[in-house]
Amino acid sequence: MKRIRPWKSIYRSINREISCNDDSLPAADIIFQVTERTIDKHGNKLLFPEIEVETYWTDFYENSEIPIDLYHDHDTSEQFHSELKTDMDVERFPSGKFAVNSLIG
């Protein structure tokens, strides 16, 4: 258990190498992250704790922090990609044909 704030706790667990009956599929880890909140974002105390459960199936055999952090940061790379397209003014190509776009660009 990791207590982030007095009203928020995070529990993480990893279930190593879950395999199914089909030998053609690789074994995978299942990472569980459970977040418990007793106060909402407006500062109101909750009568019952709010519980959020996340599961990650991965074959990235490291500690449980890396796959969770990579998943939570995927929107950062999408934001950079969007800004790059906007700055380079390539959000939409002038034509649907690659040959025409190569002549224009």
**pLDDT per residue as tens digits for the range 48-84:** 999 999 988 887 766 767 777 777 777 777 777 777 7
Whether 44 is in a domain gets the answer yes
Whether 100 is in a domain gets the answer no
Whether 80 is in a domain gets the answer yes
Residue whose entry in the numeric block shows the structure tokens 């529990």: 11
Distance of CA 66 to the CA centre of its chain: 11
Mean pLDDT in the chain? Answer: 76
pLDDT at position 83, please? Answer: 73
Q: Which domain holds residue 21?
A: 8-87
Say how many domains are in the chain. Answer: 1
Whether 72 is in a domain gets the answer yes
Decide: 45 and 39 in contact? Cβ < 8 Å. Answer: yes
94: nearest Cα among 82, 103, 85, 86: 103
- Read off φ and ψ for residue 102, nearest 5 degrees: -70, -30
Looking at per-residue confidence, does 24 or 42 come out higher? 42
Q: Is the pTM of this model over 0.75?
A: no
